[in-house]
């Protein structure tokens, strides 16, 4: 990663923050962006104290103009871009019948359109460097999860988008990775939107038994180095993807039963 420039969206916490440290410690210069100035600044200071070359920029990936400016500022500062990591994301948790469609639109705008904007505007520079485009997707991009219909839709869309882009770029030397963590200890569940689009502020799962964000970032770093096509993390995640392909009806029941055990789950038999 020495002399590489890595842009990570949604890098003020969770997996994004861990990715900034993982790539930075390998010698990369990192560009991090987020919507909240205070948390972004705190991470920036931590990275600098660790001796990592960092540029931090405020941007909302759901706003096309913000993303276009983000790419332009990266190029103005470093003169190149080698790796784009589309990490910014938000979740939601509510039954479809109770959910305002605007909530799903917001999730799609951040998770999917944010990836589209960043990938589109970064692509000319990634092609020049024959670098990497990474999407931090989810097992929910392979297997629709109840009470998270909008989130699943956004990750299915991301997976299809990246697969199409990978095929378009097949003979260009550009690497495209779809990375799908399973349940990972991060802040995404704390900021998940409810049926009315309000942040829940709590998690419905035991975070202690999950893969850590740092461990997740290490796997993603290795996958980028090895220019892997796909990365599916955790044994539960791998099993879910496998079973959904070969035993979909059984997987429907298993997924329902598993998520029905969550705290305050609205799923009822």
Mind listing the pLDDT tens digit of every residue in the chain (269 residues)? 999 999 999 999 999 999 999 999 999 999 999 999 999 999 999 999 999 999 999 999 999 999 999 999 999 999 999 999 999 999 999 999 999 999 999 999 999 999 999 999 999 999 999 999 999 999 999 999 999 999 999 999 999 999 999 999 999 999 999 999 987 765 665 678 888 888 876 656 555 577 899 999 999 999 999 999 999 999 999 999 999 999 999 999 999 999 999 988 999 87
Query: How far is residue 46's CA from residue 109's CA, in Å, rounded to a whole number?
Result: 30
Provide the mean pLDDT of the chain: 93
CA distances to 16, 98, 138, 231, 268 from 125, in Å: 21, 43, 26, 24, 50
Q: What is the pLDDT of residue 204?
A: 60
Residues 6+ apart with CB under 8 A from 82: 4, 5, 6, 28, 126, 129, 131, 132
Q: Which of 121, 125, 142, 151 is catalytic?
A: 151
| Strand order across the 5-9 sheet | 54-58, 29-34, 5-9, 83-86, 132-136, 175-180, 230-232
90 within 8 A of 136, measured Cβ to Cβ: no
What pLDDT, on the 0 to 100 scale, is given for residue 183?
A: 75
pLDDT value of position 94: 94
- What is the reported pLDDT for 124? 98
pTM greater than 0.85: yes
Does the domain made of 5-235 have the CATH classification 3.30.750.24? no
Mark whether 151 is an active-site residue: yes
The domain limits of the chain are 5-235
């Amino acid at each position: 990663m020495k002399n590489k420039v890595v842009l990570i969206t949604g890098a003020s916490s969770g997996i994004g923050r861990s990715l900034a440290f993982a790539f930075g410690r390998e010698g990369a210069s990192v560009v991090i962006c987020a919507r909240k100035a205070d948390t972004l600044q705190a991470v920036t200071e931590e990275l600098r104290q660790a001796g990592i070359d960092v540029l931090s920029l405020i941007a909302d990936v759901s706003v096309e103009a913000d993303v276009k400016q983000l790419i332009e500022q990266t190029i103005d500062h470093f003169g190149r871009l080698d790796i784009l990591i589309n990490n910014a994301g938000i979740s939601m948790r509510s039954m479809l019948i109770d959910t305002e469609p605007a909530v799903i639109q917001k999730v799609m705008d951040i998770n999917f359109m944010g990836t589209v904007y960043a990938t589109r505007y970064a692509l000319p520079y990634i092609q020049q460097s024959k670098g990497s485009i990474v999407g931090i997707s989810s097992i929910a991009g392979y297997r629709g999860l109840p009470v998270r219909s909008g989130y699943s839709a956004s990750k299915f869309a991301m997976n299809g988008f990246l697969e199409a882009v990978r095929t378009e770029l097949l003979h260009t030397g550009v690497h495209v990775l779809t990375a799908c963590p399973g349940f990972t200890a991060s802040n995404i569940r704390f900021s998940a939107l409810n049926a009315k689009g309000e942040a829940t502020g709590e998690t419905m799962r035991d975070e202690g038994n999950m893969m850590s964000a740092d461990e997740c970032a290490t796997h993603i770093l290795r996958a980028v180095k090895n220019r892997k096509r796909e990365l599916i993390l955790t044994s539960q995640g791998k099993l879910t993807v496998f079973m959904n392909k070969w035993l979909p009806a059984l997987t429907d029941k298993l997924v329902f039963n598993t998520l029905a055990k969550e705290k305050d789950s609205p799923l009822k038999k």
